[in-house]
Structure 1
Amino acid sequence: MSTLSPSSPTRDVVRRAPKVLLHDHLDGGLRPQTIIDLADEVGHELPANDAEALGRWFRESADSGSLVRYLETFDHTVAVMQTGAAITRVARECVEDLVADGVVYAEIRYAPEQHVEGGLTLDEVVAAVKDGFEQGVAAAEGRIVVRQLLTAMRHAARSMEIAQLSIAWRDRGVAGFDIAGAEAGFPPTRHLDAFEYLQRENSHFTIHAGEAFGLPSIWQALQWCGADRLGHGVRIIDDITVGEDGAVELGRLASYVRDKRIPLEMCPASNVQTGAADSIAEHPIGLLTRLRFRVTVNTDNRLMSGTSMTDEMTALVEAFGYGLRDLEWFTLNAMKSAFLPFDERLEIINGIIKPGYAVLA
């Protein structure tokens, strides 16, 4: 139970609260009807042709306790995102859905290399996403700021190429770099040249680490690769011991992560689906929040998890009794950790987030 606020905000209050999203996959957030429309255009066969049934199929397939099977659901979303028009539509709708959910700043990640099967170049993929984001922001009349994170796949050999792409586009809507995919057998050090290049270019990057694999993955991401943030990072809990008397002892790595204020991009609903946590109530986010790690709350894949930022935060309110001040703390953590220039972060914090929570309180 949080000690910050005794009140429990309703779902409607949570929806109206300003939110910041750092970990969300573009190809994991499509609307089911959009998948059906785009699949019809390219002749891709789907497991269901009704929007409600298809959405249910994605959630049930992802709700398997296996990260490998979870990732298989992306075969269908990626298949319908192979043209510029399709990618732009998905990107525009992503922004529309986030605005409706009260998100005021978002970094949306995707792997450009997965969208070139139809003949697009990597640059054309990034440009298509940029167009969609700009259309969505314009329609929202500037109520949201959105940036791209370009992702390389751990099992592939294009990380340097994608890192260079992120630098080429960093003044045109790309905020940073990421690697994703199955952790086991594909350590982040396989891409050390890309991370060293990004460091020399004074660029930002996050690394999926500590989700399906444990402390060695986190240690490599930080101490070998120099990650600014940890994608998930939930397994840092393995370096924390809670005694029978309630006393908490942090290991060297956990202490380092907390002391250095390294942001944890936590995705509770997704972690339960992939087996990284048994339930929301048992998710390490509760202890990590109590210990004041730099915790942020995220959606990961809104389609596969059937989730939103409102859903994620409401679930935490219900599981841990969090109040508005706790939700504001998560939001400020995320905004402070965004790959956005300092003055722009400060403007959103002081001009949007704090006033927004003050009104709700």
Structure 2
Amino acid sequence: MERRSFLRGAVIGTSAAAFGGSLWGGAAHAAPAQPGAGPYGALGAADANGILLPAGFTSRVIARSGQTVPGTSYTWHSAPDGGACFADGTGWIYVSNSEINPGGGVSAVRFDAAGTVTGAYRILSGTRQNCAGGRTPWNTWLSCEEVSRGYVYETDPYGVNAAVRRPALGQFRHEAAAADPVRRAVYLTEDETDGCFYRFLPTTWGDLSSGTLQVFKAGTATSGTFTWQNVPDPDGSPTYTRNQVSGAKRFSGGEGCHYADDTVWFTTKGDNRVWQVNLLAGTYELAYDDSLVPGGAAPLTGVDNVTGAASGDLYVAEDGGNMEICLITPDDVVTPFLRISGQSGSEITGPAFSPDGSRLYFSSQRGTTGSSSGGITYEVTGPFRA
């Protein structure tokens, strides 16, 4: 298999960073990944929060749906989904979507330098089924509506500026977004069984009010070359965006999306795949496919949200499966990093690292109850490798 670059870097919270807050530099990566021993060793017994972690890692509950966030007067939203972290002075902010329809929106929780919660608040209200999204290099959060002809909303994690609807990014069943400051593009996934992969080219970088929406064109194979073609009618009416361009490549249920230094990864839940697009070479291939794991022993199923770490590891959350967050390492090993026990009726959402890379945030969307009102948002702290 031809080698690809899967790049390393330092997780930071400045405007120089792409979504996920990372600058990456050169570790080799070949695809597709296979099971193997992880960098942190085996999972231990479930802790008091029901989370199985490697040695040296600990968890805590940050918030529960329908309950006041500890240390604040703010009630946490139901069905927590996609999320991201933003630097805030010596502390940081974690934002989290609410996948409720109607209602939806986004909440934020603020931490000081020691990781103590100092506040929580709403940054978007009155939207529909806000699933995933993405962080921009100018420190806003794009919250995506996972409904037919849904919108992308640009929100302010700091709670100062009002959220703005961004129709130029297209109206379709949006899932996730990832920004590419080199090509000045925002990549977008579509959660349809015959969905497409898109990019939006703003007229002015940093301003998403206008620009060009394009769709990914390629053959039917799992690897090859690709091109981009303009979508004639981004509003998707009367013809859905995915049906407007002949030769647009179809993907089965687009989910998470992550960009790092000339490469974009995205997941498709319908076939349990992680796709890797080499933006310099103009090629795409599989970074992971559970059907290519011998013996039916795939550790990663129900692929969903994805983020990257300072080490060059991808962290992929499961919707169902074993309720795990799995790693795909730069040397193409896929392995569980954590598992949530006793919550088989839920899914893991919103993985995101604090700006210094020492804490991982995520949610169990339906918690132990199996209901959207039972969501739990967690933090894991430990010796994440640099």
Same fold per superposition (TM over 0.5)? no
Q: Which has the higher helix share?
A: 1
Higher relative contact order (CA 8 A, sep 6+): 1
The normalised TM-score by structure 2 is 0.30
The normalised TM-score by structure 1 is 0.32
